Structure 1
Amino acid sequence: MINIWRLTKIQLISSFGLNKALHTRDAKERRKMLWLSIGILIGIVMMAVVSFGYSYMIAETLEQIGRPELLLAIMMAVTCLIGFFTTIYKASGVLFGSKDYDLVMSLPIKTSHIVASRVAQLYVLDLFFSLMVMVPAGIVYAIKVNPGVLYYFYFLITLLFIPLVPIIAATIIGALISWVSSRFKGSRIITLILTFVVIIAIIVGSGQINGNNPQLLADMSAQIADQIYNLYPLTLMYVNAVCSFQFDSLVLFIGFSLISFMLFTIVLGSKYKAIHTGLTTSFSKNKYQMKSLAVSSPLYTLYKKELRRYFSSSIYVLNTSIGMVMLLVLAIALLFVSAEQLGQLVEIPELSNYLNRLAPLFVSVFVTLSCTTSSSISLEGNNIWILKSAPVPTLTILLSKVAVNLTITVPIVVVSSVLLMISLDTGWMESLLLLVIPVLYACLTAMIGVLVNLKLPKLEWTNEVSVVKQSASVLVAMLIGFISLLILFGLSLLLADLNGNLILLGIGLLILVVCGAMYRYIQSKGELLFRAL
């Protein structure tokens, strides 16, 4: 047991970069880590506030129909569903894709202990998300229902067991996907397409529930509960235990989750080496043929290399393109649903006016979610020396990473903007601003990502999950993007009496000036920062 704890601790410390933060003696590095900790704390608080608000809105409707317990059922189902899908592409990286496999397997430690530590790492990562969703939901339920003391005891105990079964299912599916991918050249693209289809289906499906009609939701409440309970019976055990204080349901929920998790870990540990070998073995079906070599410019060559690197990582693609997928789905939906209807659906009556006035900034929100550069330098890892020793200007290297970010965002931004022009029936000036401002913001976001990743690199990692989803540069770049947009939204609302196009034109010029200043900074300081990595 002590070996499992030590391995898990080391892996978590490595994933989050805590070792350097705790033991560094560099005053500059300590200040950087202090500000980073403050930023992470702000991000956690923001997530908790949003989660609480979302749960409170759901509870208001469920309270009207006399089914407050459905709040915990719905939020638990959401937690398990999202945890399931995110773990699918995390599992193969954490369990089977780590670069330290040979080193760890050479240690005098049982294979079952190594596997248990890696599964425990997945558990800790999923538990954090579960806490962010379920704790606010539990607080809202307590405010609305005012349950007895036993509720808090049961609620806190069951929190620890919610992620276990989704981890098992996601790991099995993730391993199967990896196994298929190792044998077919195009399977990774197929996997990405299928994943995006599921995500789009969830987004579209969630928009079909009309929460503004209490009677309709009242009629659907029993069906919703039955569907959740039938699809995931553990939800019924959970609700009966936490809301009705049924001790047998509590024992069944904890026992089934814990025993399943332990059996899964034991079986996986016994077959781990064989599974790892099968997943990491590749086959070549074509013979190499000598052909004439094409000559390209350094920038274009590096751009192609970065693009291949981007599409070679499923977690990289999924984590950085979800914003573009959501934007495209929203733009298509507005062709069939008016802005007024959408405003009623999300309970924002003035949404139509906001969209017509601030559409470029709304589009830019999704651009902020699709920053590839905030982790592109960190993903070089131990191979960073190859780029540093290449006879290519540093500016060219950094611009190639910016170019990949623009390749992912700009085409979808242009298509979505054209669709929004049609649905919102914008004039020529509004259409021009709707097209130009998000493109400028995509350039700004890409350069922010480069600079933040140069300042907060994470080159020592064992799996891509810790870089793409957990690194400080990704969080800081996203926070900077959101804060800058909040400032622009605030300015637009404060100056609402002025001409809307004039305000957006000023915002566009401001973004252009900031982009120019950041480009000059990268041009003058980029090489120094890059060589210091």
Structure 2
Amino acid sequence: FFINLLTSKSGKKNIFNIIVTLAVMLLFIAGSSQINKIFNYILKHSNPILSTFKAFYAPVGFSVDAIKTGSIFSLFWFIVISVLPFAVLVYVLSLFYQQSVTIAGSVKKSKGGKLINSQSGILSALVRKEMSRYFSSYIYVLNTAISPLMLLFVSIASIFTGKEVLDSFTTNPALLQHIPEFLIAVFTVMLSITATTSSSISIEGKNFWILKSSPLKPTNIFAAKILLHLIIFIPITFISIIIMAYNLKISGFVLLFVFLIPLLNIISSSIMGLIINLLFPKMEWLSEVTVIKQSMSVIVSMAVNTLLVAIPIVAYTLLRPADFMVFASFVCCYLLLLIFGGIYYLSKKGTLLFQNI
């Protein structure tokens, strides 16, 4: 509410909303990771903290006194002091609520550009359109970009905890050599949870007829939606891998697979997400939340992509290959097979599904 109100006159309100929300989420995660230290500190310094709160916020003193002594007088004043400001706040917010909701739902119209006839020009224009649509919905961004952003946050945190992780592995030398495999597994699983493409068709909603009636090839539309996913996921993932690899001392030829397998997984996940959305489109909706968080295609996409990633992980666990490089090569071939198979499906069956929506 407050963010919408503060950014009501700004053309970049959605970007601002996204940044602020992500910052709050990261702060919450950071705080959660330190919860034990915080809790122990509070227990150790409970009396000074309580005295400080009593001095600066009177209701704390009244509530503590009411709990300790059962004083009705203290309970009465605690309720009055707590409820009265809340009632005033609710009244004030109610005066601006409708304005905030209207602002939140408003969309600025952008000026049209020239038509571009070249294939590369068409694709770049479609990608820009996809990015504009993507960043215009902070719900869309938060629910799809959260996985790579979480990986980035964990990677940055590893700057401070990398030595501790290595020390824990050092106590068991047999585990030390499996750090790259563990890192690849974590990255691939996390990157498979969300895909921008799993709702990219459904998000068009009532405007989908514009795409269908345009002279654009469905394959160009598919490519733009897949490229959006790659543009969002790949840079963040690569930055995260670089940080993690440096902090966990991963080097040599194995580092190539630490980059390559997540990259191929990102591509295959985006293609699978798009295929599933074509199979399970939801074009009639009142709220974006319905298609971004609750639609069948999103749920199925998450399940299928996770399953496809789980197959090589389970195979590695069962087979326990002596040479990780050889196994990683097979995993790359497996992912390439998924990618080219998905591309072929989109070019043939996907086009028909698109036309029949």
Q: Is the 8 A contact 1:338 1:423 kept in 2?
A: yes
2:17 is the counterpart of 1:191: yes
Q: Is the 8 A contact 2:116 2:122 kept in 1?
A: no
Q: Is the 8 A contact 2:4 2:100 kept in 1?
A: no
1:410 aligned residue: 234
1:480 aligned residue: 304
CA RMSD in angstroms comes to 4.2
Cα distance between partner residues in 1 of 2:329 and 2:114: 50
Unmatched segments (≥5 aa) in structure 2: 54-58, 73-81
Structure 1 position 312, deviation (Å)? 0.8
2:325 aligned residue: 501
Count, aligned residues: 338
Could you tell me which of 222, 228, 234 is aligned with 1:398?
222
Structure 1 position 352, deviation (Å)? 5.3
% identity of equivalent residues: 31
Structure 1 position 334, deviation (Å)? 2.0
Cα distance between partner residues in 2 of 1:192 and 1:350: 42
Structure 1 position 280, deviation (Å)? 5.3
2:5 is the counterpart of 1:179: yes
CA separation of 1:281 and 1:201: change in aligned 2, threshold 3 A: closer
Structure 1 position 508, deviation (Å)? 1.3
| Aligned 1:2-81 pairs, distance under 5 A | none
CA separation of 1:372 and 1:351: change in aligned 2, threshold 3 A: farther
2:125 aligned residue: 301
Which TM-score applies when normalising by structure 2?
0.78
Q: Is the 8 A contact 1:339 1:352 kept in 2?
A: no
Structure 1 position 506, deviation (Å)? 1.2
Cα distance between partner residues in 2 of 1:412 and 1:425: 20
| Aligned 1:95-134 pairs, distance under 5 A | none
| Aligned 1:365-384 pairs, distance under 5 A | 365-384=189-208
Q: Is the 8 A contact 1:374 1:473 kept in 2?
A: yes
Cα distance between partner residues in 2 of 1:413 and 1:508: 17
Cα distance between partner residues in 2 of 1:204 and 1:269: 33
Could you tell me which of 339, 347, 357 is aligned with 1:523?
347
Q: Is the 8 A contact 1:343 1:351 kept in 2?
A: no
CA separation of 1:360 and 1:339: change in aligned 2, threshold 3 A: farther
Q: Is the 8 A contact 2:203 2:288 kept in 1?
A: yes
Q: Is the 8 A contact 1:448 1:477 kept in 2?
A: yes
SS in 2 for 1:441: helix
CA offset digits 1:80-115 (Å, max 9, x no partner): xxxxxxxxxxxxxxxxxxxxxxxxxxxxxxxxxxxx
1:512 aligned residue: 336
Structure 1 position 217, deviation (Å)? 6.5
SS in 2 for 1:335: helix
CA separation of 1:484 and 1:191: change in aligned 2, threshold 3 A: same
Q: Is the 8 A contact 1:379 1:459 kept in 2?
A: yes
More displaced stretch, 374-383 vs 273-282: 273-282
Q: Is the 8 A contact 1:340 1:352 kept in 2?
A: no
Cα distance between partner residues in 2 of 1:525 and 1:502: 34
2:243 is the counterpart of 1:419: yes
CA offset digits 1:361-396 (Å, max 9, x no partner): 221122123410011111100111111111111111
Unmatched segments (≥5 aa) in structure 1: 1-174, 249-256
2:263 is the counterpart of 1:470: no
Cα distance between partner residues in 1 of 2:222 and 2:151: 27
Structure 1 position 458, deviation (Å)? 1.2
Which TM-score applies when normalising by structure 1?
0.54
CA separation of 1:291 and 1:366: change in aligned 2, threshold 3 A: closer
2:269 is the counterpart of 1:445: yes
Structure 1 position 439, deviation (Å)? 0.6
1:457 aligned residue: 281
2:11 is the counterpart of 1:200: no
CA offset digits 1:145-197 (Å, max 9, x no partner): xxxxxxxxxxxxxxxxxxxxxxxxxxxxxx23223333112233223222222
Structure 1 position 349, deviation (Å)? 11
Q: Is the 8 A contact 1:324 1:370 kept in 2?
A: no
2:252 is the counterpart of 1:428: yes
Amino acid at match of 1:191: N
Amino acid at match of 1:314: Y
CA offset digits 1:196-250 (Å, max 9, x no partner): 2222222223333458xxxx966655669989xx8xx99xx9xxx9xxxx9x9xx
Amino acid at match of 1:408: I
Q: Is the 8 A contact 2:226 2:270 kept in 1?
A: yes
SS in 1 for 2:253: helix
Amino acid at match of 2:184: P
Amino acid at match of 1:493: T
1:141 aligned residue: none
Cα distance between partner residues in 2 of 1:206 and 1:372: 27
Q: Is the 8 A contact 2:271 2:343 kept in 1?
A: yes
Cα distance between partner residues in 2 of 1:404 and 1:367: 15
